[in-house]
Structure 1
Amino acid sequence: MKRKRKGSFWAGCFLAGLAILFVGTGIFYTPYDPNQMNAALKNTAPCWTHWFGTDNFGRDILSRVMAGSRTTFLIALCTVGIGTFFGIILGAITGYFGGILDKIIMRMNDVLLAFPSLLLSLVFISIIGIGKYNSIAALGIAFIPSFVRVVRSEFVTQKEMDYVKNARIMGAGHGRIMFVHILPNTFSIVASAITIGFNNAVLAEAGMSYLGLGVQPPDASLGRMLSESQAYLFSAPWYAVAPGMVIIITVLGFSLVNEKR
C-alpha cells in the first residue's frame, strides 16, 4: 500500500512538474505570436511547423495553449492567494477566540459553503461584470469559505496544546500566539488545502472562460480555447486536444501529489 502511494506521489510530481515546466516556458517563449492570424493556415492539422496544428483563424495552437496555460495558472494562483490570505485571518480569529463572533462568522461561512465555488463565483460575476480581473476577484471570494473552515478547525485543536499555554504564561500576545506559534503548526493541512484549491481554481477558471465570463478574446485561456474548439470537434479535433490535455495533466498531477499528505 505504501509502495503504491509512493508511486502515485512521484507520478504526480512528474505530471505537475511537466505542467509547471510547460507554463514556465510559455512565460519567456512561444513559437509564434499567440494572436497572430493567418487565413491561409486555417485549421491546419499538426505538422512540423505547427506541432499542435492551427485554429479557425490560423493561429498556432501550441503558442495559444502556452499563453492560455499561463493565464489560467495566474488566475488560479491569484484565486488561491486571496482565499488563503483571508481564510487564514478569519479562520484564525474564529478558531482562536471562539464565542459569539465565531458563531456569526461560521454560520455565514456555512451558507456560502452550501454553494459550489463555481456557482458562487458566477453570482459575483453577475454583480461585478465579466473579465479576467473580475473573475479573479469573484473566484477569490468564492474560495475564502473553504479555507476559513480548514484553518478554523486547526486553530480550535492547536489552541489547547501545551506550547500555546506556555506561550500565554510567558506573556505572548494573542497576535503572536496565533500567527507565530499556532499558524506554522497548521502548515501541512493548509498546504494540502492550497493544492486542492489550486486544482479547483484551474477547473473553475476554465469553466468560467468556457462560458464566456472569464478571459475575453483575443486573449487565450484553456477554458476559452475549449469553448472555441467546440464547433470544430469533427473537422479539427486537434483544436480541443491540447488545452484539454493540459487541464487533465495539471489536475491529475496535483491530485496525486496531494494524496501523499
Structure 2
Amino acid sequence: MKTKNINFIIGSILVGIMLVFVLIGIFYTPYNPNQMDGSVKNMAPSFTHFFGTDNFGRDIFSRCMEGAKTTFLVAIITVSIGVIFGTVIGAISGYYGGILDEIFMRIIDVLLAFPSILLALVFVSVLGTGTFNIIVALGILFIPSFARVVRSEVIAIKQLDYVKNAKLMGASSLRIMFVHILPSTFPILLSAITIGFNNAILAEAGMSYLGLGVQPPEASLGRMLSEAQTYIFSAPWYAIAPGIIIVVTVLGFSLMNEG
C-alpha cells in the first residue's frame, strides 16, 4: 500500500475519532461543563472524572467535549466563509482578468503579506473579543488564500477546449464559471479546505489562549490551555487533555491532506 494511502487512512481515523467525540458532546456530556465543585478541585483522572478536574472543580472531560465542539464550530464557519467568498472572488478574477484581476490580486497580496495571526489580532482589537468576532476576523483572513487557489485553477481551465466550446454554443459567463469550470477545481479546493481547517483550529486555539477569542465561562481548548499553565506541575492533566485533542485533530487533517 502506498504511503499516501496509509497517511489518508490514518488521518481519516484520527479525524473520525475527533468528530465522534464532538458529535457526542453536542447531545451528551457526563457533567455540566461549567458546573463548579470546590470539593473536587484539581482532582487527578479517575473513573468518576476521566480527565480529572480543573482548579474550579469542573470536569475536564466534559469541558473538552464542549471546547472541541466550540473549536470545530468556529473552524467550520470560518473556513466556509473563506471558501464561499474566496471561490467567488477567485472565479471572477481568473475568468475576466484585466483591471478587475489586478485590483483583486493587489488587495489579496497586501493581506497575504502580513502574518495571519497578526492580522487576526488587529481585527479582534477593532471588533472586540468574543466567539462571533473571532469568526468574522478569521473568516476574512481565509478569503485571500482560497481566492488565489481558485483563480489559478480557473485561469488554467478556461483555456481548455470544452470551455471554449461552451462559449461558442452561447453559454453565459456565469454558467461557464460555475457549471463548467468550478467543478473541475474541487480536487485542489478540497486539499485547500483541509489545510484551512487545520489553520482555523490552530488560530482559534491561539487566539483563545491569548484571551482574545472565546470568553469564559464558555469552554475552548485554547482557553483551557491558558488556564492550565498555572497548574502545569501540580495538575498536569489539566493541560494534557485539551493539548492532545488539538494535536490529534491537526495531525489527522494533515495526514488526510497528504493522502
Instruction: Report TM bin, short chain.
Output: over 0.9
Q: Distance in 2 between matches of 1:115 and 1:176?
A: 35
Q: Which residue of 1 aligns with 2:216?
A: 217
Gaps of 5+ in 1: none
Q: Which residue of 2 aligns with 1:167?
A: 166
Q: How does 1:46-195 map to 2 (within 5 A)?
A: 46-195=45-194
Q: Distance in 2 between matches of 1:115 and 1:243?
A: 29
CA drift at 1:126: 1.1
SS of the equivalent of 1:176 reads: helix
CA drift at 1:116: 2.0
Moved more, 115-124 or 135-144: 115-124
Q: Which residue of 1 aligns with 2:19?
A: 20
CA drift at 1:96: 0.3
Q: Which residue of 1 aligns with 2:251?
A: 252
Q: Distance in 2 between matches of 1:23 and 1:118?
A: 25
CA drift at 1:207: 0.3
Q: Distance in 1 between matches of 2:114 and 2:211?
A: 21
Q: Distance in 2 between matches of 1:105 and 1:188?
A: 24
CA drift at 1:4: 2.0
Q: Which residue of 2 aligns with 1:30?
A: 29
Q: Distance in 2 between matches of 1:116 and 1:28?
A: 37
Q: Distance in 2 between matches of 1:137 and 1:6?
A: 35
Residues 90-140 of structure 1: CA deviation (Å, up to 9, x unaligned): 000100000011011101101101112222111111111111000000000
Q: TM-score, normalised by structure 2?
A: 0.99
Q: Distance in 2 between matches of 1:127 and 1:163?
A: 47
| Percent identity of paired positions between Structure 1 and Structure 2 | 67
Residues 12-60 of structure 1: CA deviation (Å, up to 9, x unaligned): 1111111111111111110000000000000000000000000000000
Gaps of 5+ in 2: none
Q: Distance in 2 between matches of 1:115 and 1:180?
A: 34
CA drift at 1:200: 0.2
Q: TM-score, normalised by structure 1?
A: 0.98
CA drift at 1:217: 0.4
Q: Distance in 1 between matches of 2:32 and 2:64?
A: 11
C-alpha RMSD of the superposition: 0.7
Residues 202-251 of structure 1: CA deviation (Å, up to 9, x unaligned): 00000000000000000000000000001000000000011000000000
Letter in 2 for 1:200: N
Alignment coverage as a number of residue pairs: 259
Letter in 1 for 2:93: T
Q: Distance in 1 between matches of 2:17 and 2:116?
A: 27
Moved more, 47-56 or 109-118: 109-118
Q: Distance in 1 between matches of 2:203 and 2:163?
A: 38
Does residue 3 (structure 1) correspond to residue 2 (structure 2)? The answer is yes
Residues 131-176 of structure 1: CA deviation (Å, up to 9, x unaligned): 1000000000011111111010000001101111011011100000
Q: Distance in 2 between matches of 1:49 and 1:24?
A: 22
Q: Distance in 2 between matches of 1:137 and 1:72?
A: 14
Letter in 2 for 1:176: R
Residues 43-79 of structure 1: CA deviation (Å, up to 9, x unaligned): 0000000000000000000000000000000000000
Q: Which residue of 2 aligns with 1:234?
A: 233
Q: Distance in 1 between matches of 2:114 and 2:198?
A: 18
Moved over 6 A (4+): none
SS of the equivalent of 2:2 reads: helix
CA drift at 1:3: 2.0
